[in-house]
Amino acid sequence: MTISVNTMRAIDHWVGVPLCAIASPLVALMDGVKNILGREPEAPKKLLFIELSEMGSAILVDPAMRNAQARGAELFFLIFKSNRASLTLLNTVKPENIFTIDSSSLGGLIKDTLHFLIIARRHRIDTVIDLELFSRFTALLTGLCGARRRVGYHIFHGEGLWRGFMLTRKVHYNPHIHITKNFLSLIHAAFAKHIEVPFSKIQIPDSEVRLVQAVIDPKALDNVRERVQKLAKEAGVDYIHGKNRLILINPNASDLLPQRRWAQQRFSELIQGVHQQYPHDLILITGSPTEFAYVEKVRTVANIKNALNFAGQVSFAELPPLYTLSDVMVTNDSGPGHFSAVTPLRTVVLFGPETPALYGSIGNSIAITANLACSPCVSAANHRKTPCHDNVCMQAITVAQVLEKVTIQLQDADKAKGR
């Protein structure tokens, strides 16, 4: 049976807090023994990143990973098995250096956790960076994996979210700068020659937030193009790549935060508006294989011949080719908004419970947010769990607003492609 997000949060709190209390003195004792036996390495050589639950974060952390790589560190990564594919978009970490934990069952979670703690020591990981925002589970993994240098966010004088004393280098999480800069501050802390309280007393310029582009296999590009053309032909839609625009609509969002979803009806109305303005262009409604029924409802209500259900038609590895072939994508604040940033695709991303100031795509993106007084209502301080069951922040975004931004992005795409 799959573990739900709320169950994992409950386990993290009710089990994580006492375990952190028990583990903290043990970790301190082990550190004391290691300090007697030898000094901490001068700089990270084998550096492990821990980010389990958010696929989009594998893209947002890439500038930080490449920064560490440029300083001479060999990179390792620990992630939930279901999210592993997100690390393959840019291949910054070698496949054999990616460790996974199966979160689909409690038994698998425990088994893989214990296996990780053994294999981390076998690889002689000397530095670990906990990318999660105050998760007790990742704090325990950080403290017990055997690394001498352990970097992560610490609550300092804030109340709540206590997760023991697992870190040797405690970083102040800044809720006023983009998460990519927060990740870069962790790298500074990992490589700093002197201890700061708190880390990191540096300026991080916008130029540091650079994302490399995915390398697209020409064969994969051709395969996706042929698949799109075949689907269009079967539906009786005239589509010629290069002549007709390709517009993506991604209506769903993960169960981690369902309040991020714009209403199905709104997406259907948007499709109608896009078709009215661009009647000769192809609209693909995207999603995972499990989202086929959700996407089909959006398509059926829109009732536009040129709008096709494309859920499950491409693998995760084929997303970059699909995005490269397309002109614009409209999506909720979810993984695709970040995955597309490794391609030239222009996006329009809808934000509600979270803010683009912290989590906006670093690609060719325009963010739309209603800026309500209660938004953002999820943060590091509440484990991204909101009491809201009426996402007015998303309902306040109008079809006309989104259509206006789609037009801007398509005009820029036309200029870029000389169309």
CB 169 within 8 A of CB 190: yes
> Same domain, yes or no, for 35 and 152?
yes
For residue 41, what pLDDT is reported?
73
Residue 382 resides in a domain: yes
> Same domain, yes or no, for 195 and 222?
no
Read off the amino acid at residue 79.
Answer: I
Count the domains in the chain: 2
Query: String of b and e for 392-401 (b: at least 16 CB within 10 Å)?
Result: ebbeebebee
> Same domain, yes or no, for 115 and 158?
yes
Q: Give the Cα separation of 395 and 385 in Å (integer).
A: 19
For residue 217, what pLDDT is reported?
94
Q: Lowest mean pLDDT of 7-16, 96-105, 298-307, 337-346, name the range.
A: 7-16
- pLDDT, tens digit, 9 for 90 and up, residues 245-285: 999 999 987 777 889 999 999 999 999 999 999 999 999 99
pLDDT tops 70 at residue 1: no
Mean pLDDT over each residue of the chain, to the nearest integer: 94
> Same domain, yes or no, for 117 and 158?
yes
- pLDDT, tens digit, 9 for 90 and up, residues 335-355: 999 999 999 999 999 999 999
CB 352 within 8 A of CB 391: yes
> Same domain, yes or no, for 203 and 244?
no
Residue 376 resides in a domain: yes
pLDDT tops 70 at residue 138: yes
> Same domain, yes or no, for 18 and 109?
yes
> Last residue of some domain: 168, 186, 208?
208
Residue 183 resides in a domain: yes
Residue 25 domain boundaries: 5-208
> Same domain, yes or no, for 38 and 70?
yes
> Same domain, yes or no, for 177 and 244?
no
Q: Give the Cα separation of 347 and 393 in Å (integer).
A: 20
For the chain, what percent of residues have pLDDT higher than 70?
100
- pLDDT, tens digit, 9 for 90 and up, residues 86-118: 999 999 999 999 999 999 898 999 999 999 999
> Same domain, yes or no, for 263 and 178?
no
The number of CA neighbours under 13 Å toward the Cβ of 347 is: 29
Specify burial of residue 175 (Cβ count, 10 A radius: 0-12, 13-18, 19+): middle
Residue 213 resides in a domain: no
In 237-372, DSSP assigns E strands to 246-250, 282-285, 307-309, 328-332, 346-351, 364-369
> Same domain, yes or no, for 192 and 222?
no
Read off the amino acid at residue 22.
Answer: I
> Same domain, yes or no, for 310 and 391?
yes
Q: Residue 72's domain is classified under what CATH number?
A: 3.40.50.2000
pLDDT band per the 50, 70, 90 thresholds, residue 42:
confident
For residue 2, what pLDDT is reported?
63
Residue 38 resides in a domain: yes
6: which 2 tokens? 């709320």
For the chain, what percent of residues have pLDDT higher than 90?
85
Whose CA is closest to 332, among 316, 348, 345, 344? 348
> Last residue of some domain: 208, 237, 266?
208
Helix segments in 145-237, DSSP class H: 179-191, 218-234
pLDDT band per the 50, 70, 90 thresholds, residue 360:
very high
CA distances from 395 to 219, 266, 364, 365 (A): 41, 9, 24, 21
> Last residue of some domain: 150, 182, 208?
208
pLDDT tops 90 at residue 125: yes
> Same domain, yes or no, for 261 and 201?
no
CB 125 within 8 A of CB 146: yes
Residue 62 resides in a domain: yes
Q: Give the Cα separation of 1 and 217 in Å (integer).
A: 37
Residue 25 resides in a domain: yes
Q: Give the Cα separation of 182 and 197 in Å (integer).
A: 16
Residue 69 resides in a domain: yes
pLDDT band per the 50, 70, 90 thresholds, residue 134:
confident
Q: Give the Cα separation of 136 and 18 in Å (integer).
A: 10
For residue 379, what pLDDT is reported?
85
